[in-house]
Structure 1
Amino acid sequence: MKSRFILCRIQETFDLQGLYKKGDIMLGGIFEVSFKTIVPDLSFHSKPEKWNCESLDFSVFQWALTMVFAIEEINRDPTILPNITLGYRLFDNCMRLQVALRAATTLITGMNEVLTESDCKGPPPVVAVIGDPLSSHSIAISRILGLFHLPMVSYYATCSCLSNKLEYPSFFRTVPSDAFQVKAMVQLIKHYGWSWVGIIATEDDYGQYAAKSFQEEMNKFGCIAFIENLPVISERAKILEVVNTIKHSTAKVIVLFSTRVDAAPLVKEITEQNITGRQWIASEAWSTATVLATEENFGAFGGTFGIAVRRGDIPGLKNFLLRINPNPVSIQNLATRFWEKMFDCKFKENLSMTNSSTLPEVKYCTGSEDVDSKQTPYTDVSESRASYNIYKGVYALAHSLNKLASCENGKGPFENKSCASITNVQPWQLMHYLKGINFTTHLGERVAFDKNGDALAIYDIVNWQRDSSGKIEIKTVGVYDKAAVTGQELTLTEGDIFWNFPSESVCSKSCLPGSRKANKKGQPVCCFDCVLCTEGEISTQVDSPECFKCPPDFWSNPERNTCLMKQIEFLSYEETMGIILAASAIFGSCLSFGVLIVFVYNRHTPVVKANNSELSFLLLVSLSLCFLCSLCFIGQPSQLNCLLRHIMFGVSFVLCISCILVKTVVVIMAFKATLPGNNMMKWFGVAQQRGTVFIFTVIQSIICITWLITAPPAPSKNTKYQNAKIIFECDIGSVTGFSFLLGYIGLLSLVCFVLAFLARNLPDTFNEAKFITFSMLIFCSVWISFIPAYISSPGKYTVAVEIFAILASSFGLLLSIFAPKCYIILLKPEKNTKKALMGKSEK
């Protein structure tokens, strides 16, 4: 009968460094205790030697001991897993994926060389794994553990890709995903208005996924100046290339997604080249790295902002760390390495296999050295971040196991409402309880996993600065809580922040209100020129993408940031021009009445009689009306004065020209009547003269009435000629009606001028035709020159030109026709006799 022993045999074991303690239920752990690895020869000409791990990291060893502390604390707690002892097996991954996979394989297969049949059917070597801290390692390990549905609770792997439950069904973490880390970074960047940012990311899953996610979020409000990849295996040429990009970029804010080990070469090179003036944003993987936050690096990296996993105090941890007591002959070789590194000594038992004669004199370890006498990161529990996440991860597994153990038969979650056996628990059964875990730590922080196995998103915002003693510290200056009220996720204590450099980082400075952004061709949208809004358009916001037109009655101010009510312009009595024109009109009207009074008073004198006194009186009245009609053009247009100004203008001028025309005709007929046998005057007597003036005036009146009935003039706001002003004017309504009105006046004026011109040389002592000719010449010249001046004059000056033409033509008629007569009547009365007039005639 074959022995039931030797049924299961392990062909080979890995030589790994770790810590171990037997228990009823075993938990595994993977930590990056060593950060330097000596790779063996892999030519496969002989059996490869083991991977040697060197340069032990005291702070990470503290993380491993935190897991041990949490397990021993749970074992002492009678309320959690009573009568069940948790054990542990922890391994060092040496920051190498190959070693991490060896550690994971060892955890799920066991360590014994020979297993009994009962062992083959017993519980697995471990039911869950705490670790791995690196995202790239976790991705590879989770693909293996997921096949066995064995839970893996990471305390530092943040790649958002690990939230995919189809690919990583058994992965959980007590640290938030990079998706939330990126949101925290973006909130911080947006808070300070940085829109021009550079990205550096390691060439692994952690860096590339984080950089892609950050770029997507950043593009919503800002721009990426550059993206550089940082080699995982340090290559100086590549490092120098990244540094050169930083030196020549205009971006002053740089986000670095990297582990502390991968970031170290870049930090060193930047410090050596003394590249300052940059605001660094650190990912959680290196934001709290005390090995980087040193006095040497502070000149370039002082004031660095970092996203850090939540810090928590673990009571009793420091005392536990001080009680470590290594046994050099036990399998706890990781503790032995720590002790030898801490006190720079060697245990004799570890030298037994070597020839001591060939070794230089060494210091031997006794095992009783005082750990508290050494000031190292191992005993510093003031920044318990990763340690706190490990602590929460162990307790999450313990609470899950406790729920599994507390299951009542017939009320279980498994097939036929069965329960799992705590003495033979399977990883997939533990996963069921782990998914729904929800408890509160002693600090009052809730621990739970969402549907993707991610922890609740809450971060500390840290800042690299000096403390009161001058030492470099990584100080918490704020918190990002994704569960907070929208818009209040980020809280900062501004007074605690240290700024090493100016905090502005933009490709182009913001465009002030009154201008708009104009993108530069071929450059990101954050690079733009600021273009002043055109007249009549404004922008009221900073960085406005476009300008907006003001409403029709408004216009932009000189700064182009406000629409102001347009200035309403019209010729008023309050301004100098209006006063002068009004005074001139009144003066002309008074002068006309003055001449009328002189003529009425001297109506029996030969000069007045010889010039048809009745027509002269009517002409002076019409001239007075011509002067007065110009007053209707001054002042704010209204419906009434718009009607009056054109009616008075048209009628008074036709009346005036009609009188002059009749006077001209009378002069011609009077001359013809002196010829023998000509009695024309009897056909053009006083009645006919009055009738002619009346008919000419009635025709103009009919034109005016027709115009007013069809399309009367009305007040209007003209914005065509001056954009910044509203010209308040009288719209003529019908262009045809206004043309007929002017055309009729022009026709009468032309006829009058022609007749007067033909009669200018008639042999008369006092030939009035000469004066009429001269007056009509002035009248026609004024109104002909008025047309281009009227068209080209802007705003209120159009009305002023029209008034000037009315006054000039009226003064021209008044002075040309009546000035010579008044001269004789008032200054030369001796010539105002019939004898004098006849005498001149005889000559």
Structure 2
Amino acid sequence: MFYLDGTNDLADEIEGVFVRISQLNQNTSLIHPNATIVPTLLNNHGSKAQLIPQALDMALDGEIFIFGSGYSSMSIISSLILQNYQIPMCCGSSTNPTLGQKALYPNFFRTIPNDNAATLTMAQYLAFNGWHKIATINTDEDYGNGAISSFLNYASQYNITVLSRQLVETNVDANAANQIAQQIISAEARIIVYFGFAAEYEVIVQQATLAGCYGAGYFWIGTDGLQQMVPTTAYAGTSYLFPLERADGPVSDAFDAYWKANRLGVGNPGANVSSINSSGPFGYFHSSCVDLALLGFDALVKANGNNVTKLANGELNSQMQVPQSFNFPNHDTTTGRISLDQNGDRSGDYAIMNVQADASLVQVSKWSNGAEYQIQPYYYPGGASYKPADAIDPTTVADYLQTSGDGLGILAIILFFVGAVTSIASLVGIVLYRNRPMIRASDVFVGFAMQFCIFVTWFDLLTMLNKPTNTTCTVDSIIIPITFSVYYGLMFIKNYRIYTIFTRPRSRILKTHETIIGGIIFGIPPAIIIAIWNAKDAPKPAAITVMKGVYAWTCSSTSTSLQSVMVTLLSVYCAIILAMNLYIAFQTRNIPSKYSETRVITLAIYNTTIITLFAISILLSEGLGFRLKAAIKMIAVFYLLFFNLVSSFSLKVVHCVQDNVLSTKSGSKSTHSITNPSMEAISVKEKDAKKGKAGTPVILRKPGLFSESKPRMMHSETPEFVSFCRFTKLTLEDEAASKRGDGECWKLPNLKEFKVEKVSDLTRRYYLDKDQFEVTYENEDDAKSWDNYFHPWTNAHIAKTMLGEGK
């Protein structure tokens, strides 16, 4: 009998046959006491051209059994030739599924599972570990192409999706291998399955390591083609499936012992090219071929009257049926008990081999009957100790703003505290100066409600921090829609009330509580939409793809269509409120000359519209990273809130504080202070009122954002003193205050600094201390009359006080 392939890289298989035959020849009970099996090696050096004539020579020489060939492509040729001479073949390394087609290869059987069994096991193994998204690489030759074809048939049965399929040429170079690595990265695959041989695999791994896809978070596994790989630290973490070649038991133990003791002394042709101290895996499988062949011969000889001569002469070959004559499922071989199916294929268990950190190759688990039994821990690429997820698990890599060590997260915290502290300071100031005309003009309690909306919205900055939770997702869905609706609802009603006062003087003016209730009503529709949204499919934490390879945490409903509908409804509603404010702001465009509060409101509305449109257009654009979008949202929210807070409330408080300071300084430095400013002021008011001079109508306008409407300038009959006073008429309360004469006044008995500048025939600019006013008179006579009144006071000193102060 001959072993066909004798190339040096098949020394393992050659030794398996020769050592096992030598060992069994010692067993006199096998076949016949006087029979000796004599193996002969015919070396074709892996050449198909040499194989064909050698196979014919063997057939003509009357050989009765062939062990081989080592490669599937060679076994196919051998079987096609030798089947014509009824010569059986057994191989322990040819795995091509084609050889299992009994109609084409009736004389062939094998002791190693075919590639279909290996690829089926691979599909089962991947599904068992929860890996359903993978990348595949296969070599472009019979083994690789056959294996990938078989695997893809099974993959669909186990719900496995191939994200990337790469074909590698034999003798692949570094550039081609790098392209394969880049394709894996582009496909975002984490589990890479290889069907091919070690030479190409080693080049690919080198480039994959450089590209970053052979490392922590990845898992590379192949089939038995990688058995030829020489383990090194460069391949630490590589795993491959291999048929479980060594059975635990006395047969395998005895074979190992005999191998070590007799490998060099049994006429072993592989001894000169092998330095291994025990049989390799393919040596085990080929030794099992020897077991089955000799068991078959023994049964055949016994069935023919123990006539060994007939067997040796080939006279019994016609009685050999493959695989029936060589199927002994209850007999222990070196690789365990072997059960052959009708095609001569073996079904068996698999070992999962793994290259450890120290480059040792160990069996980490066993695959049997659809389940994995772990023996020791895997070593994963990059030294990771955890089992990677298939593809990329967004939950493990998704970005989010952190509260420490994250500049953007720290910025969110800083902006929150700046905004919250400013809100609180502004609110305290409004309370302290609630009786000042500048504060009362904007309606104190309506201002409280609007500031509360701003204060609550600051907390939306905090919802951007850390991984979202169900609670933060719910809060985030509530805050901005409702506070926006209430705030700008109040602003609309407030501006409409101003519009009514100055365009329809006899119309009924909305009272404070009616304004606040109206603002709350504006917040009811979004509250209903949000309640329905949360009841049906509340937003929950989700890791989403921001762009290719970039993931971030956000809040999202399970149903994207429902979320789109709800977000659209809320956006449209808020847009309607904003449009209403724009309309009323346009209607009140001429009022700021009479009442500056409309200027503040209009500026806030225009600013909100521009910034909102700008921010939304940027946030909806593709290609922006998570952090850039987060920064834009954060800055837009802060800017809008801070601008509204400062322009509508905080600056008024600052003006009141400055006026207080100036009043205190002026009073303390005056050399001629007024002993009873309240009584003096009242007497002036009464005296002038009787003479009709207290109500001299002029347009007195203080340059700046917060001048008030309809001020009047009061003076006495003689230039005893003159007072600049502002009286407002906005709400019922302010109108009553105006009638009482309450207001902010500058009195001129002792000018500290007073200048008059003629702007035009009717307009004068008056400089009082650090303040200034522009006065437009109705006619030139009034202007000249007032010039005469003011002339004695030019460059004099005054003390600033308040009418009604000290009561």
Calculate the TM-score normalised by the size of structure 1: 0.42
Select the structure that is richer in helix.
2
Q: Which has the larger radius of gyration?
A: 1
